[in-house]
Chain A
Amino acid sequence: MARVYNWQIGREMSYWYPESRPKRQFAAVFDTNKCIACQTCTLACKTTWTSGKGQEYMLWNNVETKPYGSYPLAWDLELLEVLNGGRWNGRTYEGETIFESAPAGARVLSWRPAAEDYAYPNVGEDDCAGQVDGGAGFSLPHMAWFYYLARICNHCTYPACLASCPRGSIYKRPEDGIVLVDQGRCRGYQECVKGCPYKKVYFNPMTGTSEKCIACFPKVETGLQPQCFVNCIGKIRMAGYISRPEAARPDNPIDYLVHVRKVALPLYPQFGLEPNVYYIPPVHVPPAFLRQMFGPGVDDAIETYRNAPNDPDLAGLLALFGSSESVMMRWARRGDEIVGADDRGTPLVRVLMREPVHVRPAFDRLYQITRTNCP
């Protein structure tokens, strides 16, 4: 194993291959506070990529209700149990990652879902943690809560799927860090299915190979965001590219949210993969639960996010989510207007921080007619 640096756990760690970061890294920010579990993203992906024979059960994008939802069944609990906890000392993880705790004969610590574990994509949907007793009122964080966790492949910096494949059939593209299974080379050993802690590689019994989220690379290559991003009803998603922390650019939307404001956090950073989908944690959930899922930055992230109404830059950037099909490489705020731009700075979209209010009186003087509202 090689020694590599993982900034999400604040230290060096062991990985199967030496550190080799792509020219730029595809990344995303999901705001969990805005997701309504409409599953439009799931369907957008399904109709685009996984409508074939053998792909019936595959959800490259899925949305699960936490704390009880999971797809495949208990994907996170199963691993947390075998990983046997782990301590954070400030922003440094002192426990073992899945690479460091790999058992004899394996490259990563992992577990293998059974076919049945894929049979309940809606398990735990809208089930909340705890009961609401008579006379109870809500305060923050809620004493009874749930939230929606939308999940795609994290196009990890240190992918466990890639490390697990004995044939080198999985590769990370040097140009954008997107992780792909070479469908011409895969022999269907399912090592990656077992190895990915997020369980985002799926075995196709009809083609006999493993398949996974491709970050809609044909779209990304032309500067467009993936299907699950642009179809998102809740406008919770933004795709872009993330820099290393020391090279963060405040005018890069992803860098700003992750590195500058630290409001978006990786999913289970303690696993050690440096995943590249970052989540703004839900504000109403007990932080102890969130710390296990998103690491020690949760409390600061929630405080920053809750202060967004007094924070025009942050509120402004959040308003850019879901405003354009194009990937916004840069952004800027000019007063009440937020501009999303390409990498040459050419504006792609302008959004107002607050939508203008138009009052339409019931009686239209011009046409001398009374308006009615149609349902």
Chain B
Amino acid sequence: MQRVIGAVLVLGITAGASCQRAATVTPEVVAVRAAAVPEDPGDRAWQSVPEHVARLLVQDVVEPRLLQPSTPEVRVRAITDGSLIAFRLEWADAELNDRPGPGRFADGCAVQLPQKSAAPAPDPQMGQAGHGVQIAFWRADWQASVDGRGDSITDLYPNASIDHYPFDAPSLERGSETQTKMARRFAPADALGNRRGGLRSSAVEDLIAEGPGTLGPAPASVSRGRGVRTPTGWLVVIVRPVPDGLSPTSRTQVAFAVWEGSAEEAGSRKMRSGWAGLAMRGPS
């Protein structure tokens, strides 16, 4: 246990130190070339990378809109090895929200890229018909699951008491087909492969959209990522393939969004940025 606390402290200090270190601020996101992309938000490699401060606006274009601004900005750094690109998003958030439930919402963030780099750029608000966007979405409750939180109701509500689930009947062999089938019957979203909760192996999901309300799963899962709590908020790294159009000689666009769980933000109730330029720099 002591070792765990020690590890958490070290991580906290590293993260805190990285926040305090003054980075070069760039008007666009500059992905610095390196031999490997760090997946750990506390990795030292992040310290020497320039930072872009993306100002966030309330999403007030489509209903339901966000009327009260919450997270004002997200600080973004990027590293690429030429085939993968890692974005590190850092934002202030006084309250940890990582338990789903009725009336409870998880903290989250997303990186959005045009599906095709060809001009003109799609509408920054989820793209538009014929001009789609690709989105890598991270959520704090998924991170908690990846970090080891169980999938029983007491993991979410420690004082809950449950008498019995029919699929836990002693007559059913655990893990048998009959038992699994019965549990599935009471989890219709799971049965349809729509994994929004429960145990997860990744805290990030790949999505595509062609306008508000059209968000759907991407044809393939290509992103991964990891988020850690800092003393003042979140540090989240999202790693994905270098987008179409980004090379040492050409640039594309990128946009960001942050959801503040304590402000009941979910879906279109979010803080989002406009497009920022995304360039690559360093030895090729």
Contacts and interface: CB of A to CB of B under 8 A. Distances in A.
B187 A190 contact: no
Interface in A164-193: 164, 166-168, 183-191, 193
B212 interface: yes
A225 to B, nearest CB: 21
A208 B197 contact: yes
A56 interface: yes
A184 B194 contact: yes
Interface string B162-189: 1001110000000000000001011111
Contacts of B267: 166-167, 187, 189, 191
B189 A166 contact: no
B160 to A, nearest CB: 7
Contacts of A54: 153, 187, 197
Given A188-B197, A203-B101, A209 B63 contact: no
A190 B102 contact: yes
B156 interface: yes
Dominant SS among interface residues on chain B: loop
A186 B66 contact: no
B198 interface: yes
Interface stretch (A17-25, A29-37, A99-107, A227-235): A99-107
Contacts of A57: 102
Given A56-B162, A164-B64, A115 B197 contact: no
Given A56-B160, A209-B196, A166 B62 contact: yes
Contacts of A115: 101-104, 157
Contacts of B102: 57, 113-115, 118, 190, 193, 202-203, 205
A113 B103 contact: yes
B186 A112 contact: no
Contacts of A191: 64, 266-267
A50 B197 CA distance: 17
A188 B266 contact: yes
Contacts of A204: 187, 189, 197
Contacts of A206: 151, 153, 187, 197-198
A102 to B, nearest CB: 9
B67 interface: yes
A189 B105 CA distance: 8
A53 interface: yes
A48 B263 CA distance: 35
Interface string A36-55: 00000000000101111111
A307 interface: no
Nearest to B196: A208
A137 to B, nearest CB: 44
B194 A209 contact: yes
A114 B212 CA distance: 27
Contacts of A56: 153, 160, 162
A50 B186 contact: yes
A211 interface: yes
B101 A205 contact: yes
B162 A187 contact: no
A184 B213 contact: no
A346 interface: no
Given A52-B165, A52-B186, A167 B153 contact: no
A117 B194 CA distance: 27
Contacts of B282: none
A105 B103 contact: no
A107 to B, nearest CB: 5
A53 B165 contact: yes
B264 interface: yes
Given A106-B64, A166-B63, A186 B194 contact: yes
Interface in A85-104: 104
B192 A184 contact: yes
B190 A207 contact: yes
A205 B213 contact: no
Nearest to A195: B64
Nearest to A112: B103
B48 interface: no
A167 B67 contact: no
B12 interface: no
Contacts of B189: 183-184, 186, 204, 207-209
Contact of B64 (A52, A166, A184, A203): A166
Contacts of A193: 102-103
3 tightest CB-CB pairs across the interface, nearest first? A52-B186, A208-B196, A208-B197
Interface of A: 47, 49-57, 104-107, 112-115, 117-118, 164, 166-168, 183-191, 193, 202-209, 211
25 contacts: A49-B186, A51-B186, A52-B167, A52-B185, A53-B153, A53-B183, A53-B186, A105-B65, A113-B102, A115-B101, A167-B213, A167-B267, A186-B189, A188-B266, A191-B266, A202-B102, A203-B103, A204-B189, A205-B101, A205-B156, A206-B187, A208-B195, A208-B196, A209-B194, A209-B197
Given A115-B103, A211-B188, 16 more contacts: A50-B186, A52-B165, A52-B167, A52-B185, A54-B187, A104-B65, A115-B157, A118-B102, A166-B268, A185-B194, A188-B196, A188-B197, A188-B266, A191-B267, A193-B103, A209-B194
